[in-house]
Amino acid sequence: MNLFSYRLLTFITMPLIAYSGWKRCRKHKKQQQHNPELPDIPDCFRSRFGVNRQKYQTGGIWIHAVSVGETRSVFPLLTALKENYPNLPLTVTNGSTQGALQALQFSPVEIQHQMLPYDYSFAVKRFLKQIKPKLVIMVETEIWPNLYQACQEHNIPIILINARLKESSFKAYQKWGGKVITNALNQTQFIGVQFSADAEHFKALGAQQSKIKTLGNLKFDLTLDKHSTENANHWKAEHNLTTRPIWVAASTHAHPNSNELSQSEEHIVIEAHKRLLKSEPNALLILVPRHADRFEEVAKLLDDNQLHWASRSKQQPITTSTQVYLADTVGELMLWFAVSDVAFIGGSLVPFGGHNILEPAALNKPIISGEHFANLKALFEPFIDADAIRIVKDSNALADSLYQIIQNPQQAQELATKAHNCFTQQTGALQRTIEYIKPLLK
C-alpha cells in the first residue's frame, strides 16, 4: 500500500470511523451522568477532526498514548520531561476515552489534553498548527502515516518510543502495510524499541537499522507511591482484612470469540475461587474487569454463582461473609495489587494475549498468569526463565497454585522476590529514552 491508497481507504471509511468515535464520546457523557466525578473530555468528538475551543500553549512536547496501559506507562516520562524542560508545555493525546480519563485524572504533572485527531491530513495539520510542538512522541505501536508525513513537512521531529510489535500486528503490517508503513517509520528521528525481537520486526518492515534503538520497556521504570504499602495496610485494617488471604484477578476479559459469560475469563476465575473456598473458606477475591462497560455483566455473573460479593463503586462494606469484592472503578489497580497476597494477571486464560506483569512484580507480589501471553512474550520470558511466575492453564490449576502459595508463606516470598529481582534488573529505559530525546530539544 502507498500513501495515496491509504488516504483513499481512510476517506472511504470516514463515516464508520466517525460513528465509532461519536459513540465512544456519547458513552463517556452517559457515564458522567451516573458518576459526576468523572472529568470532562473537552471537545471529545470534534477534536478528532482537529476542531476544538481550547487555547493551547505552543512550542512544547506532544505525547500520544492510545489507551490506559500506554498512558500509565508514560507518567514517569511526563515527570522526567517536566523536570528537564520545566518551561515547555506538555500536551497529551489519547485514542480512547478510558486512556483520556487516566491522563486527566492521574497525570503526575500539569498537561494540556485532547483526543488524538484522526489520521486525516486536514485534521492532523490543524492540530499541529494549534500547538506548534517542538517534538512529537508516539508511544508503542502508533504509526499514523498522515501524521508522520505532516511532521516531516513541517520539520517537526517525531519519535516512536517504548515501541513493540506483537506477532499478530507484525504480520498484519507485513501483509497490508507496504511502502506507506516503511516510509512512516523512516520519517522518525528514532524508534526506541522494548526488546531485540521488536527491533527485528521493525527492521523487517523496512525501518533503517540506524534509527532502531533497543532501550527497554518504560513500564519497568515505575514510580511507586511511597505510601502504597501504608495505604494498603490502612485499607485492610479499615475492612478487617488483616488476617484474611486476599488474591486479585486483574484486567480480566470476556472471551474474544464469544459473548457468553460462561466463556469469559471471569467465569474461569470465579470457578477457581469457588474451589479455593473449599480449602480456604476465609479467602477474598478482588475481581477487576479490564473494561468498565463490563462491570454490570460481571456483577450478574457473581449473582448467578450465588457468591456473597460487594461493590467498590457502591461503597458496599466488606463483611466476614464477603467472598468477592468487585473493583468496579478505574485507576485503582495499584491499590488492589498492594493489598493482595497473590496477583493473577488477566487476559491470559482466554486467548487475548496477556497483560503487564510489572506492577505486582514492583510491589514484590507472587504472580500467576494463564498460558495466553503471546502479546507480551518478550516481557514474560525473563520471568519464566527465572522461575519468577506461575503459568496455569485452567481454573483447577489456578486454584491449586493459589492454595499452594497461600499455604506456604516461604514459597510465596521466594516467588515474589524472584519477580521483584527480575523487575529491577530490567529498569533504566526511561533514562536511556531521555538521553536520546535531549539532542532533539536543543
Check residue 343 and give its pLDDT. 98
User: For the chain, what percentages of helix, strand and coil (3-state, to nearest 5) are there?
Assistant: 50, 15, 35
Given a cut of 80, is residue 222 above it in pLDDT? no
One-letter amino acid for residue 95 of the chain: G
Given a cut of 90, is residue 277 above it in pLDDT? yes
pLDDT band for 359, please (50, 70, 90 cuts).
very high
pLDDT band for 353, please (50, 70, 90 cuts).
very high
Check residue 119 and give its pLDDT. 96
Closest CA to 98 of 141, 61, 64, 69: 69
SS3 92: strand
pTM of the full structure = 0.73
Residue keyed to cell 514517569:
76
pLDDT band for 361, please (50, 70, 90 cuts).
very high
Check residue 289 and give its pLDDT. 97
Q: Is 40 exposed, middle or buried (0-12, 13-18, 19+ CB in 10 A)?
A: exposed
Check residue 37 and give its pLDDT. 82
User: What order do you get walking across the sheet with 284-289 strand by strand?
Assistant: 309-311, 324-326, 284-289, 246-252, 342-345, 367-369, 390-391
The residues annotated as belonging to the active site are 70
pLDDT band for 242, please (50, 70, 90 cuts).
very high
Q: Which of 164-168, 325-329, 426-430 has the lowest mean pLDDT?
A: 164-168
Cβ–Cβ under 8 Å, residues 76 and 96: no
Q: What mean pLDDT do residues 145-153 have?
A: 97
Query: In this prediction, what percent of the chain has a pLDDT beyond 90?
Result: 83
3-state secondary structure 327-394: CCCCCCHHHHHHHCCEEEECCCCCCCCCCCCHHHHHCCCCEEECCCCHHHHHHHHHHHHCCCCEECCC
**Per residue in 269-287, is it b (16+ CB within 10 Å) or e — as a string?**
bbbbbbbbbeebeebbbbb
To the nearest 10 degrees (0 to 180), the angle between helices 395-407 and 409-424 is 100
Q: What mean pLDDT do residues 121-133 have?
A: 97
Q: What mean pLDDT do residues 73-78 have?
A: 93
The pLDDT tens digits for 3-17 are 989 999 999 999 999
307 to 161, 298, 321: CA distances (angstroms):
44, 12, 9
The pLDDT tens digits for 424-435 are 888 899 999 999
